[in-house]
C-alpha cells in the first residue's frame, strides 16, 4: 500500500467541516477552546468502538444508541468535563445532540456526542447548548485544527493527521483528530478519536475495519494502566470520493483497512508520546512468537510496567525488569530462548541473550536510552504457528515526577 500524508485532519476528506470554540466548560481556563463539532455535507455510514470499562459515561451510552442504524452526520464533543457518573448525565448528553441537530437541520439521532475531563461533576449543559449556534456558524472546511484543540485536556500537542490513497481508481482521503495523554491503557484509554473519510464503504465492512484498526493501534498503547469511562473512536464515511462502494473483502477493502490502520497508529503513537509528564516514547516489538496474540500480550505487559517506565525515565538499561514483566504477562514462553535489545537513533545494544545478561557498555546504553524515541526489541525464538505473523508492536512512555504532579490535583 502506498499512502501520501497530507494536511487537513478531519476536514481533508471531501464534504467534512469542523469547528472548535471556547464556551467555558472549565471556568479556570478562560481561553481554551472546549467545544468541537464535526459535520458532513452528506449522510455517513458510521462505526465506532468504545471503552471496555464497565462504568461508561453518558455520552458513550447515547452515542451507542444513535449508532444502532449505522448512520451519522455529525459529532459534538466537549473537554473539561467527562459527563461520567454525573447528575443528569444522559439528559445533558441528549441535549447536546439535540442542540447540534437543530443548528445543522438534521435529526438528533444522526449526532454522536463525546465528552472528556473530570468524572463525577455535572456537565454545565446550558453553557454548551447556548453556544452551539455559534459553533455551527464557525464550521469550516479547514476547521480541523480548532476542533482538535477543543478536545484536548492535559494534552500538550494536538493530534491531527490525514492521508490519501488510491482505491478503485479514485483518490480516497482519511483524516483524524484525537486526544489522549493520561488514563490511557489497552482496551482504549481516556481517549477520543474522530476519523472521517470520503470513501464509499458499506456499514458492515466499515464496522469490521474500525474494530481491526483500533485493535492494532489504540488498544496497543498504555500510559499509566488506567482504562477510562469515556473512550470513543468514531469513523464517518460519506462516500463523496465516488469510488465503487466497498461491500465485501477484496483488494479495495484491504487498501482501505491498511490506510485506516496507518492513520490510527499515527494517532495512537502520538498519544503515547504525549503521555502526561512523559519524556520518552517507548516502542516494544515482540518477534518470533508462536502467535500474534502471544506477542501482543507480552508487549502490552512490558509497556504497562511501572518499573519499566521508571527505568526509561532514568535512561537505565535495566533489562531484568523487562523479563519480569514478560513473566507475569500470562503468556507461556521459554525464558531460556529470550533475547532483548534496546535501540534508538543513537544506535542499538544487545543486553540479554537466551535469557541471560550480556556484557555491554553502560555509558553507551544510557546514550541510546536518552533519546526521546526508544525501542525494546524482544525475540522469543519460537516457531510461528501456520498463518500467524508471530509479531506485535505496542507503544508506551516513561513515568516521570510530573505525572504525579499533574494527577495529584487534576480535579481541583
Distance, in Å, from the CA atom of 209 to the CA atom of 194, rounded to the nearest integer, reads 15
| Strands annotated E in 262-338 | 281-287
Question: What angle do the packed helices 89-104 and 125-137 form, to 10 degrees?
Answer: 20
CB burial of residue 280 (10 Å; 0-12, 13-18, 19+): buried
| CB atoms closer than 10 angstroms to residue 279 | 16
Look at the block and give the residue holding cell 493520561: 182
Assess contact for 132 and 76: CB atoms under 8 A: yes
The catalytic residue among 129, 190, 229, 285 is 190
The tally of CA atoms less than 13 A away on the side-chain side of residue 375 is 17
| Strands annotated E in 181-256 | 192-197, 232-237
Residue 395, all three cell numbers: 507503544
CA distances from 390 to 32, 114, 293, 301, 342 (A): 45, 36, 8, 16, 20
91 is catalytic: no
Strands 339-344 and 347-353 turn out to be antiparallel
161: phi then psi, degrees, rounded to nearest 5: -145, 160
Give the closest residue to 222 by CA, choosing from 345, 395, 380, 384.
395
Look at the block and give the residue holding cell 485493535: 215
Active site residues: 190
Amino acid at each position: 500500500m502506498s499512502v501520501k500524508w497530507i494536511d487537513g485532519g478531519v476536514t481533508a476528506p471531501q464534504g467534512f467541516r469542523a469547528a472548535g470554540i471556547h464556551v467555558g466548560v472549565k471556568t479556570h481556563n478562560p481561553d481554551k477552546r472546549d467545544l468541537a463539532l464535526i459535520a458532513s455535507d452528506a449522510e455517513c455510514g458510521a462505526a465506532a468502538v468504545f471503552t471496555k470499562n464497565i462504568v461508561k459515561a453518558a455520552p458513550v451510552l447515547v452515542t451507542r444508541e444513535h449508532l444502532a442504524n449505522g448512520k451519522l452526520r455529525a459529532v459534538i464533543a466537549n473537554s473539561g468535563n467527562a459527563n461520567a457518573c454525573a447528575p443528569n448525565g444522559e439528559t445533558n448528553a441528549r441535549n447536546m445532540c439535540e442542540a447540534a441537530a437543530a443548528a445543522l437541520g438534521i435529526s438528533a439521532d444522526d449526532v454522536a456526542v463525546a465528552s472528556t475531563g473530570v468524572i463525577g461533576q455535572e456537565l454545565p449543559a446550558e453553557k454548551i447548548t447556548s453556544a452551539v449556534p455559534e459553533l455551527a456558524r464557525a464550521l469550516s472546511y479547514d476547521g480541523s485544527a480548532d476542533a482538535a484543540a477543543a478536545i484536548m485536556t492535559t494534552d500538550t500537542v494536538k493530534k491531527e493527521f490525514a492521508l490519501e490513497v488510491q482505491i478503485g481508481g479514485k483518490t480516497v482521503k482519511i483524516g483524524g483528530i484525537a486526544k489522549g495523554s493520561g488514563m490511557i491503557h489497552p482496551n482504549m484509554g481516556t481517549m477520543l478519536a474522530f476519523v472521517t473519510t470520503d470513501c464509499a464503504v458499506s456499514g458492515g465492512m466499515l464496522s469490521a475495519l474500525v474494530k481491526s484498526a483500533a485493535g492494532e493501534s489504540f488498544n496497543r498503547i498504555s500510559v499509566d494502566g488506567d482504562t477510562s469511562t469515556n473512550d470513543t473512536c468514531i469513523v464517518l464515511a460519506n462516500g463523496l470520493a465516488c469510488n465503487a462502494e466497498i461491500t465485501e473483502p477484496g483488494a479495495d477493502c484491504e487498501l482501505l483497512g491498511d490506510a485506516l490502520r496507518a492513520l490510527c497508529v499515527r494517532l495512537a503513537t502520538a498519544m503515547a508520546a504525549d503521555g502526561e509528564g512523559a519524556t520518552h516514547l517507548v516502542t516494544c516489538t515482540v518477534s518470533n512468537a508462536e502467535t500474534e496474540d502471544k506477542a501482543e500480550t507480552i508487549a502490552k505487559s512490558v509497556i504497562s510496567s511501572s518499573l519499566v517506565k521508571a527505568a526509561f525515565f532514568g535512561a537505565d538499561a535495566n533489562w531484568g525488569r523487562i523479563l519480569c514483566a514478560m513473566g507475569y504477562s500470562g503468556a507461556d514462553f521459554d525464558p531460556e530462548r529470550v533475547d532483548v535489545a534496546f535501540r534508538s537513533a543513537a544506535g542499538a545494544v544487545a543486553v540479554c541473550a537466551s535469557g541471560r545478561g550480556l556484557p555491554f557498555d553502560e555509558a553507551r546504553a544510557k546514550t541510546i536510552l536518552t533519546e526521546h524515541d526508544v525501542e525494546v526489541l524482544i525475540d522469543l525464538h519460537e516457531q510461528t504457528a501456520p498463518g500467524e505473523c508471530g509479531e506485535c508492536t505496542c507503544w508506551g512512555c516513561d513515568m516521570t515526577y510530573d505525572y504525579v504532579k499533574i494527577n495529584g490535583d487534576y480535579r481541583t
